């Protein structure tokens, strides 16, 4: 029994000695790189006026999977980097293993791109083991957390999220990292269970925003229902003694969010409904909105987290402004969070999906700050996810957010 108790205690500890909550923070060079690119004007002048400020932690700055612009996502090291950049809220995307233990993964079926599983002895356990590229058929694999027990999951080595679809060997398939990311900080990175993330984030003085991922498996999974899954995630915060006020549970599944609101009202008070646009979605046409912000608010949901492209639009002069959807959400009394800044890499070619509502106004990396300024000042968001939190932390500190 003593050995079991010790094992349970160790499961709550982070895998490395973490930075402390009072460790001095750093912006690094990236915020200044982006500010230098801004055109002359009020925004650049304001941001330059804050160059001598001392960084401070802010809940406006949310680590999206940690700091995955340069660190393997959902690892100890990625979250340490985000915390050291002043992220006041850190994220664990929650998936489950074959033995129904909770781990931090962006998707239940991403192990083939985020770990080394395809070159390990566990490769044959994958839902779809690696197949090499052949002719016009790309290399492929699908490996799920639910293919493995927790003990097996913990043997994997995390990597930058990527795959080389031209690969003819499993070793080559591990490549494919975009040129604007890096593998410099992948060596020795460590995976996290959900319980370990709670212990780590607490030690860093950060708040928590776990996202319950819709599983790739049909539910219930071996008797494990969606309600069981949603409840288990909340229970792990209760068991760790984390106040509900420090937790912002998220889901794209509105039934999950409603479950928390109804069954765990203290945690449901800060439950976040994540949304993204459909193919026919238009910011100024309510008939294309699945649920209007007013309808969402009527369900007892208080936090709404749309993707960036839902909250910004272009006015008649081509300037970036708050979208009609953002205005409707604010009028409904919803608190807004947006995602995910610096997910798109260099913005010289329009910024990709996250900026497809304002593509014509996006042509340089400095537009990260142009969009962030509209989100903060015009849309009125209370937090922004970023793949490199220092960018958001600097802005928030400068504007007193």
pLDDT of residue 210: 98
Confidence tier at 349 by pLDDT (50, 70, 90): confident
83 class by beta-carbon count within 10 Å (0-12 exposed, 13-18 middle, 19+ buried): buried
Contacts of 223 (CB under 8 A, 6+ apart): none
The pLDDT of residue 85 is above 60 = yes
- Cβ proximity of 178 and 162 under 8 Å: yes
> Tokens for 273?
């409904």
Average pLDDT (97-116) is 98
The pLDDT of residue 139 is above 60 = yes
Q: What is the pLDDT of residues 160-171, one digit of tens each?
A: 999 999 999 999
CA dihedral 65, 71, 76, 77 (to 10 degrees): -140
Q: Within its chain, how far is the Cα of 164 from the centroid?
A: 23
Contacts of 95 (CB under 8 A, 6+ apart): 102, 103, 104, 105, 107, 108, 145, 146, 213, 215
Average pLDDT (209-215) is 97
Task: Work out the angle at residue 308's Cα, subtended by the Cα atoms of residues 307 and 312, and round it to the nearest 5 degrees.
Answer: 130
| Look-up of token digits 């998936």 | 95
Phi, psi of 197 (to 5 degrees): -65, -40
The pLDDT of residue 293 is above 70 = yes
Average pLDDT (78-105) is 98
Averaged pLDDT score across all residues of the chain: 94
pLDDT of residue 12: 42
pLDDT of residue 2: 33
Q: Give CA–CA dist 298/367, Å, rounded.
A: 35
C-alpha to C-alpha distances, 21 to 26, 46, 201, 207, 352, nearest whole angstrom = 13, 28, 9, 11, 35
Confidence tier at 1 by pLDDT (50, 70, 90): very low
Confidence tier at 22 by pLDDT (50, 70, 90): confident
Contacts of 152 (CB under 8 A, 6+ apart): 97, 122, 125
DSSP per-residue codes, 172-187: HHT----TTS-STT-T
Contacts of 9 (CB under 8 A, 6+ apart): none
pLDDT of residue 10: 37
pLDDT of residue 164: 98
pLDDT of residue 21: 66
The pLDDT of residue 378 is above 80 = yes
Q: Where in the chain is the domain with CATH 3.20.20.190?
A: 22-92+192-399
pLDDT of residue 313: 98
The pLDDT of residue 230 is above 60 = yes
pLDDT of residue 333: 98
Q: What is the pLDDT of residues 112-128, one digit of tens each?
A: 999 999 999 999 999 99
Average pLDDT (27-55) is 97
Q: What is the pLDDT of residues 245-287, one digit of tens each?
A: 999 999 999 999 999 999 999 999 999 999 999 999 999 999 9
- Cβ proximity of 15 and 192 under 8 Å: yes
The pLDDT of residue 357 is above 70 = yes
Beta strand pairing status for 207-208 and 272-275? unpaired
The pLDDT of residue 5 is above 70 = no
Confidence tier at 23 by pLDDT (50, 70, 90): confident
Q: Give CA–CA dist 289/332, Å, rounded.
A: 15
pLDDT of residue 19: 55
The pLDDT of residue 6 is above 60 = no
The pLDDT of residue 355 is above 60 = yes
Radius of gyration of the chain (CA): 21
Average pLDDT (228-248) is 98
Could you tell me where the beta strands, DSSP code E, fall in 198-301?
207-208, 211-212, 250-251, 272-275
The pLDDT of residue 11 is above 80 = no
| CATH of region 22-92+192-399 | 3.20.20.190
The pLDDT of residue 32 is above 70 = yes
């Amino acid at each position: 029994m003593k050995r079991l108790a010790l094992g349970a205690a160790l499961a709550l500890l982070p895998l490395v000695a973490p930075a402390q909550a009072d460790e001095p923070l750093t912006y690094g060079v990236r915020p200044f790189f982006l500010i230098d690119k801004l055109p002359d004007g009020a925004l650049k002048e304001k941001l330059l006026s804050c160059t001598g400020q001392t960084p401070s932690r802010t809940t406006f700055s949310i680590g999206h999977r940690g700091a995955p612009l340069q660190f393997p996502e959902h690892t100890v090291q990625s979250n340490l980097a985000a915390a050291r950049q002043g992220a006041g809220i850190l994220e664990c995307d929650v998936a489950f293993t074959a033995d129904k233990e909770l781990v931090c993964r962006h998707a239940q079926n991403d192990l083939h791109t985020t770990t080394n599983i395809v070159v390990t002895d566990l490769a044959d356990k994958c839902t779809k083991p690696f197949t090499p590229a052949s002719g016009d058929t790309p290399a492929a694999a699908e490996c799920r957390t639910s293919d493995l027990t927790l003990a097996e999951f913990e043997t994997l080595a995390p990597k930058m999220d990527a795959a080389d679809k031209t690969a003819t060997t499993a070793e080559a398939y591990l490549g494919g990292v975009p040129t604007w990311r890096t593998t410099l900080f992948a060596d020795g990175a460590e995976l996290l269970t959900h319980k370990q993330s709670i212990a780590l984030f607490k030690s860093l003085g950060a708040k928590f925003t776990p996202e319950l991922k819709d599983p790739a498996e049909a539910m219930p999974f071996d008797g494990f229902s969606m309600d069981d899954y949603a409840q288990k995630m909340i229970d792990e915060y209760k068991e760790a003694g984390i106040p509900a006020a420090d937790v912002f549970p998220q889901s794209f599944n509105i039934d999950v969010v409603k479950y928390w609101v109804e069954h765990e009202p203290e945690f449901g008070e800060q439950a976040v409904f994540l949304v993204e646009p459909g193919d026919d979605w238009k910011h100024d046409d309510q008939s294309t909105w699945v649920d209007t912000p007013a309808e969402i608010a009527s369900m007892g949901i208080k936090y709404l987290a749309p993707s960036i492209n839902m909250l910004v639009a272009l006015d008649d002069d081509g300037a970036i402004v708050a979208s009609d959807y953002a205005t409707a959400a604010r009028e409904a009394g919803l608190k807004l969070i947006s995602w995910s800044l610096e997910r798109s890499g260099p913005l010289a070619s329009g910024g990709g999906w996250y900026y497809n509502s304002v593509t014509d106004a996006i042509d340089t990396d400095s537009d990260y700050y142009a969009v962030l300024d509209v989100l903060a000042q015009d849309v009125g968001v209370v937090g922004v996810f970023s793949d490199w939190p220092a960018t958001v932390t600097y802005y928030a500190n400068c504007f007193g957010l």
